[in-house]
Structure 1
Amino acid sequence: MRPVFDLTARRAGWIGLIFCTGIAPAFAQTVPTSSPAPIIIPAAPASSVKIRRITVQTSPLTNSGIDIAKAAQAVQVLGRREISRNGAPDALRALQRNATGVNLDNTAGNPYQPSLFYHGFEISPLEGTSEGLAVYVDGVRFNEPFGDTVNWDLLPEPAIRTLTVEDANPVFGLNALGGAIDVQLKNGFDYHGGEIEALGGSFGRAELDAQYGVQRGNVSAYVAASERHEGGWRQDQSSGIQNVYANLGWRGPRAELHMSLTLAHSALNGPGTAPVQLLAADPSAQYTAPNFQGNRYAKFAISLNDRIDSANAIQAVAYYDYFLQKISNGNAPNDLPCYSGSPYLCSAPGVLSTTRGGVPIPAFATGNFYSELDQESTNTNGYGASLQWTNTAPLFSRHNHLVAGLSFDGSATEFDAVGLIGGITPLTRIFVGPGIVIDEPGTNVPVRAFFRSAYYGVYASDTFDLTQKLSVTASARINAAQLATHDQGGGTLTGQHFFSHLNPALGIAYQLTPLVTVYGGYSEANRNPTPAELSCAGPQNACSLANFFTNDPNLKQVTARTWEAGLRGAALIGGGTLSYQADYYRTVLADDIAFINAPTIGRAYFSNIGKVLRQGVDLGLDLHAGRWRAYLDYSFTSATYRNGFIESAGGNPAADSSGNIAIVPGDHLPGIPANQIKFGADYRITPKWSVGASAVAVTSSYLFGDEANLNKPLPGYVVTDLTTRYHITPKLEVFGTIENAFNATYYTYGGFASLGNVFVAQVPNLTNPRAYSPAAPIGGYAGIKVKF
């Protein structure tokens, strides 16, 4: 749902209220209702146009919003229609399909583990990425404290009411360098009745969602449960996810209180990337295995909104969460026989591989049939609270909206990691025993460490009407972070760090007409280095791609400075409405942090790399006319390095004679396509039957590991989905979807593989290090939804 403006006007009797709940959110500016259909109300007299006031949130805590006409930045809101467009609710697919500036890649090769990019800023479930977006769920920070990662599989999909994508706003705290994603969940006051939805189809996909909400006077209850399974379209690819969400609410004349519980469990196997020559021989093949990630999650939260009087209100939230993650990654070995016939393994020429106690590791396998298994365990207890005051009393006889608050987020994390050397199956390349522990000081050592973090925030945002048409918003937030590491394995990880930063913002919004607004402004944001980054921050102490940590040097925090300007509006066209938005942004990061290849194969480290520029344009059209709903969006994104640096080439074939690549100012960041076009249309054939189509077109992007832009980019693609729905009765619906309807062969991630130390029976002489993560071929799905 994405209404920019709500209008009514007389057109030969009646015309619907223009409530743009359509499928693209490029100019979405409101919080939608739970109704899937446009709201129809009597029209105003022919000479008038009525605008329904719509609010957008100015902070992570709810019930503190301002009129959309006063917002000084772009905001996109997706509701139930977008989230469930292909049948069962799918938040990530909705963002990819409907939000301008958003694209997904998938290095893990599992559909529930993609990395999301917005304006070139990334959030990912995988360590080793520079997390540039903040994510909140009902006012609680959702970025995991250890590495700021975001695990999408923990979200209770059927319980999601809205997804809001907001451009840079310092009030959203750490990681909001490029913006924030705010997830609002349902409760028994806004959702009544029950619903059961089942879906099944290609690749062994089976999904079951159930939800029920009830209100009895001043008390409400809501519960949602979800089960998702998929066998996958590639070797060793599978998913199993279970989620439960419950919310108990109470409200009086002025106050509203909610308590919620979220439980989640997932077991995800992703085959990752595979060399292109292997994919040519077998498109479903994985390169090395296993690649497993298991998550367990529990969160309890309590929130309060108290309207003290007509001008003052208090919002508060407190939470505790527990997160346990287990990872097993089969990788190409760094340890091989020192020479043909050698009785021992070596990690480098003339350097013996060792296990605990410095004992040399024997060459136990025949030939070069070796593999490494990296295992990690991350055990985090998180807790925090936020308190906010909202005041809407006039100032100098003008409308004024003030929000001020405090926040605290703390965590305690125990991290364990170990590398094991073993054999490998010749045909499927899966790790097998004996599993000897690798203990090589300075290169790869077992790790056990305890991390504590404490994040503090003080913020304020004030929107003041200089005139009836001109509004000015001034904001500021102070972020402070205390990080402590305690090595429990006899290493050198112990350290203390403190970071702080003041982030201001100033913006204006001017209503050219009641239906057209121009806006613009400047903002700053920051993120501090995470415990994961601080513990792997030097070329002499690099860690594996699974992030084993060996020392604790310092890194600078990352700061972002953003300029933004845009236009949004709506127009009556015949019996329908055309909404539109155009937005320009320019963000410069100082002291950005990147995961840089180290000379040791399969190792990398975090380092400040100077300035990085991201700039671009988002354009969007959304049409509601009779039985049609359609959208067309375009995004241009340019992400370039502004400072040069040198890194080890890894598997990049364009390495110089020293085995390095040189990044120069103007080189493009990998994985970020310059152009995206998104299109969708729904047509209601009868009052009960509708059909639809949507498409995403993405141009090429540079491979990860090719920051110097020396190789052919990853090809672009166009992927199309077809959908249909039929309401047998008002409470019984059947639906069907064809995803990738034209069976396009395309890849969502590209990088380089290490060749020569993994035997591939299908292609014994691999020569091309390019490695891709292939997307799913054509798939068909059908489902049924029952309401009660």
Structure 2
Amino acid sequence: MRGNRALLLTSALVLPGVIMIGGADAATHRHPVKARHASHANTMLAQSASPSPAAPVASSAQTAQMQAPTKTQPVLPAPQSETIDVIGITPLMGTGISREKVPSSVQVLTDKDLLRYGHPDLIQAMDGQLAGVNMDSASGNPYQPTMIMNGFEASPLQGTPQGIAVYMNGVRFNQAFGDTVNWDMIPTIAIKKMEVQTANPVYGLNALGGSVNMRMKDGFNTGNLVEADLSGGQYGQIQANGQFSHKWRDWSVYVAAREEHQEGWRDLQSTDIQNLYSDLGYKHGNKEFHANLVMANSTLNGPGTSPIQLLQADPAAQFTAPNAIGNKYLMFDLKQGIDITPTLHFQALEYYSYFQQLVSNGNAPNDSPCNDGTGLLCQSPGNYSTSRNGATIPAYLGSNPYSYNELDDQTTNTNSYGATFQEISTHKLFGLKNNEVAGFSFNGSQTMFSATSYIGGVTPLTRSFIGPGVVLDESGNVPVRVGIQNNYYGIYGSDTLSLTDRLSLTVAGRINIADVNLSDKMGGDLTGNHHYTHFNPSAGLTYRFTNWLSGFASFAENNRAPTPAELSCASPQDSCSLANFFVGDPNLRQVITHTYEIGLRGHVNIGRGALVYEGSIYRTNAQDDIAFINSVTLNRAFFQNVGDTRRQGAKLHLAYNTDWWTVYLNYTFNDATYRTTYVESGGSNPQADANGNLTIRPGDRLAGIPKDKLTGGADFRLTPKLTFGANFVLQSGQYLYGDEANLTPELPGFFTVNLHGTYQITKNLQFFAQVSNIGNRRYYTYGTFSPANSVYLWQVPNATNPRAYSPAMPISGYGGLRLTF
């Protein structure tokens, strides 16, 4: 999101080279270290462009490059993002090549994009300003979305097969146990630039659909700054952000903090988040050093999906409770860089992180009173429920099955550590310009995972779990306590050779080695050692046809190893509850993808403005894809290789910018299908066959992925102090999770519009506001099936429809003040 000075040019499907909007381009190939330092002081400029009077004070480096506005003609600001002609080619900072030489789709969000609607918001920026991306919310909490990019997912929820590699300042951010991505732990205000790339093997495991690389702020790239904002609005929303940056001589310091609370628009929905980020930097001569500290704490209550008949009676209702996740995160890293010669640079990164997650999840019970007159609880007829030491469990709440509820608790404690070393050379090869990178990475972790399930009672209206809470022993499913050690090694290299002034060739490759060792601490069958190795190559070409049009084409191979969560829940005999329980089972095969992409990008001056454009088409074929599929046991599922899948589609970005206004448009088409036949249990899907199964056939679409998405918006300068903007999201329907055979109607598509604006009260004080979903449309971003007939719904006592949705936020608004010095 872009706010303040940067009201123009969405999401940075950016121009080749250094773009002067309304001027000439200067697509120069620079030394990566010098380019990185130079980019901190440059901005995209427009002819006659000026900083917005409605914006906070720019840094001195930015201000020096801006022209003063005239008194007679107010102008809209040009995109005041930092120059982004250099794009990272590895997760580490300072490794990059000219944008026009990258042979694949690259999108960039800057710190100004994240401020577009007021306070910093990474999730809304990704959803509204990136082509090829959409977000859903299975948990029902707005800070726990699943990001779907090019048909692959990055989610905070266990049970989601992860296919996107995420990095923060070069540190792998996918958590070790399930490769999950916890967006709530990211200090959004401290993000300087976020690069989103299509599949590139250099980014390591999980980069099947691409990578997200967040480059954070420091005192050198931010300058002297003191800033704080406070905002509040509907549903008990209140947020405070602050950042401090200072540079003196060879030293710099940057500190940012965030506090956020939201009560939510549904029953038992709430959010509490605290983030802290700091950077201490030193730069002298040919050396640079940074020490970073990240701290995060959150408590997220998400009501999840609710049966549609329940939502029709009460749009705020939740199905079963509690649904709470508590996260704690600590990360410390050191980065060093040194210029060995004018054309040779060396970088190193070392880090340690600690992650703790507590999950408390109320579910419809698998246990109910037996019908054989024994007065006991059963999992199925003749299969008695047992507690510790095999003791049977009395039906202590009577014979009414609706009197019972289940609570699933899990704890994950992970200590992670690692290092990356790489060299960068810009020495000419055969007399041609050349940029070469080679490196080694290690990511290790030790995790202790435990899980326990309880049978208890239920409150009538909210269906929340209450005591007595008898521990369940489900024949190996629960309880669980397992120790896990992950060791991931990578050896990689990339080389971009300028064959001519217009034509460039890039070749890259990476060897991924993964060791996953499990040790059952309760004497069960979890113990096992798993080893995976794969070499991933890539190659691509870029060609500059004219000053306003470039083309690219590429091929990339990527892999991901099964996670500990997947390896320990991989058979129908011992399936697990979503995000909770795991047992030892056969090996899963690693997923291998082959991605082909071709596209065009460029910019051209038209009239008094500039048109920016990028479009691409892609196809990714996945071999031995992993899915979380239904088990014959109700509310249980397991991971399985399901054969081949295919994601193919197109992405298009257009933006037109003038001194007075800007308009942008992003279109995404994604056709994600299965290419192999397999059979799974139908679960609660009403279209299951007579045996209770679903047969998935080639051509059936993957669940949860809409085919079409269109986003866009416009911003206007109404007066020198007042700005106003609007944006929209139009998204087609998608098949429900649990309907991989495409037998039931799709989750309905939706259209929603948001408004935003700013008013500069004084030079240092700004007011900002946003109104979301102005039409108060009732729509849903996620759908699945729930056993509505296994839980008594007081609001809808005769409910029979198992379709369950996660409602999006109704109309809402907030406003705030930002103080900048």
Q: Give the TM-score normalised by the residue count of structure 1.
A: 0.95
Q: Is the Cα contact below 8 Å between 1:259 and 1:302 reproduced in 2?
A: yes
Q: Which runs of 5+ in 2 are unaligned?
A: 1-10, 25-43, 52-57, 69-82
Q: Is the Cα contact below 8 Å between 2:549 and 2:602 reproduced in 1?
A: yes
Alignment partner, residue 92 of structure 1: 123
Relative to structure 1, the CA distance from residue 280 to residue 516 in structure 2 (aligned partners, 3 Å threshold; closer, same or farther) is same
Cα separation, 2, equivalents of 1:65 and 1:622: 25
After superposition, give the CA deviation of every residue in 1:429-450 in whole Å (9 maximum; x if it has no partner): 00000110001214x3200000
Q: Is the Cα contact below 8 Å between 1:329 and 1:546 reproduced in 2?
A: no
Q: Is the Cα contact below 8 Å between 1:36 and 1:80 reproduced in 2?
A: no
Is 2:199 the partner of 1:168?
yes
Aligned partner letter, 1:739: S
Alignment partner, residue 336 of structure 1: 368
Cα separation, 2, equivalents of 1:548 and 1:231: 29
Cα separation, 2, equivalents of 1:92 and 1:308: 40
Question: Where do residues 188-203 of structure 1 align in structure 2 (5 Å cutoff)?
Answer: 188-191=219-222, 192-203=224-235
Alignment partner, residue 27 of structure 1: none
Match of 2:243 among 186, 208, 211: 211
Q: 1:552, CA displacement in angstroms?
A: 3.4
Is 2:447 the partner of 1:413?
yes
Q: Is the Cα contact below 8 Å between 2:409 and 2:580 reproduced in 1?
A: no
Aligned partner letter, 1:175: N
Q: 1:161, CA displacement in angstroms?
A: 1.0
| RMSD of aligned Cα (Å) | 2.0
Is 2:353 the partner of 1:315?
no
Alignment partner, residue 45 of structure 1: none
Report the 3-state secondary structure (helix = DSSP H, G, I; strand = E; otherwise coil) of the residue aligned with 1:533.
helix
Relative to structure 1, the CA distance from residue 493 to residue 20 in structure 2 (aligned partners, 3 Å threshold; closer, same or farther) is farther
Cα separation, 2, equivalents of 1:697 and 1:136: 29
Alignment partner, residue 539 of structure 1: 572
Cα separation, 1, equivalents of 2:367 and 2:65: 65
Match of 1:709 among 742, 747, 752: 742
Alignment partner, residue 752 of structure 1: 785
Q: Give the TM-score normalised by the residue count of structure 2.
A: 0.91
Cα separation, 1, equivalents of 2:60 and 2:447: 38
Alignment partner, residue 29 of structure 1: none
Match of 1:622 among 649, 655, 658: 655
Is 2:539 the partner of 1:526?
no
Q: 1:546, CA displacement in angstroms?
A: 2.9
Report the 3-state secondary structure (helix = DSSP H, G, I; strand = E; otherwise coil) of the residue aligned with 1:756.
helix
Alignment partner, residue 114 of structure 1: 145
Q: Is the Cα contact below 8 Å between 2:140 and 2:303 reproduced in 1?
A: yes
Q: Is the Cα contact below 8 Å between 1:34 and 1:190 reproduced in 2?
A: no
After superposition, give the CA deviation of every residue in 1:699-728 in whole Å (9 maximum; x if it has no partner): 000000000000000000011110010111
Report the 3-state secondary structure (helix = DSSP H, G, I; strand = E; otherwise coil) of the residue aligned with 1:543.
coil
After superposition, give the CA deviation of every residue in 1:347-403 in whole Å (9 maximum; x if it has no partner): 011110000011001101132210010000000000000001000011111100000
Aligned partner letter, 2:454: L
Cα separation, 2, equivalents of 1:290 and 1:309: 59
Report the 3-state secondary structure (helix = DSSP H, G, I; strand = E; otherwise coil) of the residue aligned with 1:62.
coil
Alignment partner, residue 475 of structure 1: 508
Question: Where do residues 552-563 of structure 1 align in structure 2 (5 Å cutoff)?
Answer: 552-563=585-596
Cα separation, 2, equivalents of 1:270 and 1:303: 37
Cα separation, 2, equivalents of 1:606 and 1:240: 32
Report the 3-state secondary structure (helix = DSSP H, G, I; strand = E; otherwise coil) of the residue aligned with 2:633.
coil
Match of 1:591 among 612, 618, 624: 624
Cα separation, 2, equivalents of 1:281 and 1:247: 50
Cα separation, 2, equivalents of 1:18 and 1:354: 75
Q: 1:41, CA displacement in angstroms?
A: 6.9
Q: Is the Cα contact below 8 Å between 1:18 and 1:38 reproduced in 2?
A: no
Q: Is the Cα contact below 8 Å between 1:382 and 1:411 reproduced in 2?
A: yes
Alignment partner, residue 498 of structure 1: 531
Match of 1:7 among 12, 20, 24: 20
Q: Is the Cα contact below 8 Å between 2:366 and 2:635 reproduced in 1?
A: yes
After superposition, give the CA deviation of every residue in 1:482-541 in whole Å (9 maximum; x if it has no partner): 110000012110000100100000000000012311000100000000000000001111
Is 2:389 the partner of 1:364?
no
Aligned partner letter, 1:437: V
Report the 3-state secondary structure (helix = DSSP H, G, I; strand = E; otherwise coil) of the residue aligned with 1:544.
coil
618-627 vs 268-277, greater mean Cα deviation:
618-627
Relative to structure 1, the CA distance from residue 10 to residue 55 in structure 2 (aligned partners, 3 Å threshold; closer, same or farther) is closer
Aligned partner letter, 1:383: Y
Is 2:51 the partner of 1:17?
no
Q: Is the Cα contact below 8 Å between 1:34 and 1:161 reproduced in 2?
A: no
Alignment partner, residue 253 of structure 2: 221
Cα separation, 1, equivalents of 2:261 and 2:48: 36
Q: Is the Cα contact below 8 Å between 1:17 and 1:41 reproduced in 2?
A: no
Q: Is the Cα contact below 8 Å between 1:525 and 1:561 reproduced in 2?
A: yes
Q: Among all aligned residue pairs of Structure 1 and Structure 2, give the percentage whose two residues are the same amino acid.
A: 48
Cα separation, 1, equivalents of 2:325 and 2:303: 11
Is 2:757 the partner of 1:762?
no
Alignment partner, residue 161 of structure 2: 130
Cα separation, 1, equivalents of 2:741 and 2:90: 38
Alignment partner, residue 436 of structure 2: 402
Q: Is the Cα contact below 8 Å between 2:48 and 2:67 reproduced in 1?
A: no
Match of 1:354 among 366, 386, 394: 386
After superposition, give the CA deviation of every residue in 1:223-246 in whole Å (9 maximum; x if it has no partner): 011000000000000000001111
Question: Where do residues 43-54 of structure 1 align in structure 2 (5 Å cutoff)?
Answer: 54=85
Cα separation, 1, equivalents of 2:60 and 2:394: 64
Q: 1:20, CA displacement in angstroms?
A: 12
Report the 3-state secondary structure (helix = DSSP H, G, I; strand = E; otherwise coil) of the residue aligned with 2:789.
coil
Cα separation, 2, equivalents of 1:9 and 1:299: 43
Alignment partner, residue 392 of structure 1: 426
Alignment partner, residue 292 of structure 2: 260
Cα separation, 2, equivalents of 1:703 and 1:355: 35
Cα separation, 1, equivalents of 2:746 and 2:266: 23
Cα separation, 2, equivalents of 1:220 and 1:549: 47
Alignment partner, residue 37 of structure 2: none
After superposition, give the CA deviation of every residue in 1:284-303 in whole Å (9 maximum; x if it has no partner): 00000000000010000011
371-380 vs 190-199, greater mean Cα deviation:
190-199
Alignment partner, residue 80 of structure 2: none
Cα separation, 2, equivalents of 1:693 and 1:53: 26
Alignment partner, residue 729 of structure 2: 696
Q: 1:470, CA displacement in angstroms?
A: 0.3
The size of the alignment, in residue pairs, is 766
Q: Is the Cα contact below 8 Å between 2:728 and 2:752 reproduced in 1?
A: yes
Is 2:454 the partner of 1:423?
no
Q: Is the Cα contact below 8 Å between 2:323 and 2:362 reproduced in 1?
A: yes
Q: Is the Cα contact below 8 Å between 1:105 and 1:114 reproduced in 2?
A: yes
Cα separation, 2, equivalents of 1:538 and 1:35: 59
Cα separation, 2, equivalents of 1:218 and 1:449: 48
Q: 1:8, CA displacement in angstroms?
A: 6.5
Q: Is the Cα contact below 8 Å between 2:50 and 2:67 reproduced in 1?
A: no
Alignment partner, residue 213 of structure 2: 182
After superposition, give the CA deviation of every residue in 1:44-100 in whole Å (9 maximum; x if it has no partner): xxxxxxxx8811111101111101111100100011221111111011110001000
